[in-house]
Amino acid sequence: MAATLLRIHPENPPQNRLLQAVEVLRKGGVIIYPTDTIYGLGCDIHNAKAVEKLCRIKGIHPDKANLSFICSDLSHITDYANGITTPVYKVLKKALPGPFTFIFEASPKAPKYGGVKRKTVGIRVPDHSICLGLVRELGNPIVSTSVRDDDELLEYTTDPDLIFEKYRSLVDLVIDGGYGNNIASTVVDCTNEDFDIVRQGAGDIEQYL
């Protein structure tokens, strides 16, 4: 079945439209949605079949997938991540919501995909009304990975209409929240409390340290 294209206002997303997207997630669907950086592929964190489908679309094996968890605030983070000390938490509080993915040691509650327990988890709280609204309405995080482009110059597709054309037969819903950016989040490794930059992206972590 072909995907639906759902247009949602990026700054003031109507609740009925968010609920339409959440219904797709609850039924095990995979959606494409905007974040504060690039468009993401996402599904319900607790639905292993949906995660497997997302990994197939991305062409990766579930047990090797570096998937991020999109949270709506800091309250969910300690459910899935261990070793968040007070100094680290203070930095997170200043930097989030924002264009960062923070890597932590996975807690025992972190979901197993492909039957493998993860050593680390990537946590995101994007500064974007649509994805924060989706997570709040769903009631738990969304598993997420970036929508990449085949064009070596672009790397990330920013036009939701082009994304829809490319993925309409693969996903269940594409949210059009306007043009996305083409710079991904800054990935910061917090497993040793050192805030090591794994990938420099849209966020500057130095200003929060």
Q: What is the pLDDT of residue 1?
A: 67
Residue matched to tokens 């500057």: 204
Instruction: Provide the pLDDT for residue 50.
Output: 95
How confident is the model at residue 154, as a pLDDT? 57
Which residues, given as ranges, of the chain have pLDDT below 50? none
Residue (of 184, 107, 113) closest to 148 by Cα position: 184
Read off the pLDDT of residues 92-102 as tens digits, 9 standing for 90 and up: 999 999 999 99
* Superfamily name and number for 4-199: DHBP synthase (3.90.870.10)
DSSP states of 82-104: E---HHHHHHHHHH-SSSEEEEE
Residues 6 or more apart whose CB falls under 8 angstroms from that of 88 comprise 190, 193
CB 170 within 8 A of CB 57: yes
| pLDDT of 26 | 97
pLDDT at 44: 97
Look at residue 47 in the predicted model and tell me its pLDDT.
94
DSSP letters along the chain, please? -PPEEEE--SSS--HHHHHHHHHHHHTT--EEE--SSS-EEEEETT-HHHHHHHHHHHT--GGG---EEE-SSGGGHHHHEE---HHHHHHHHHH-SSSEEEEEEEPTTSPPBTTB--SEEEEE--S-HHHHHHHHHHTS-EEEEE-B-S-TTT-B---HHHHHHHHTTT-SEEEE-S---SS-PEEEE-TTSS-EEEE--S--GGGG-
pLDDT digits (tens, 9 = 90+) for 121-161: 999 999 999 999 999 999 999 999 988 766 555 567 789 99
- Stated pTM of the model: 0.93
Cα–Cα distance measured from residue 98 to residue 120, given in angstroms and rounded to the nearest whole number:
20
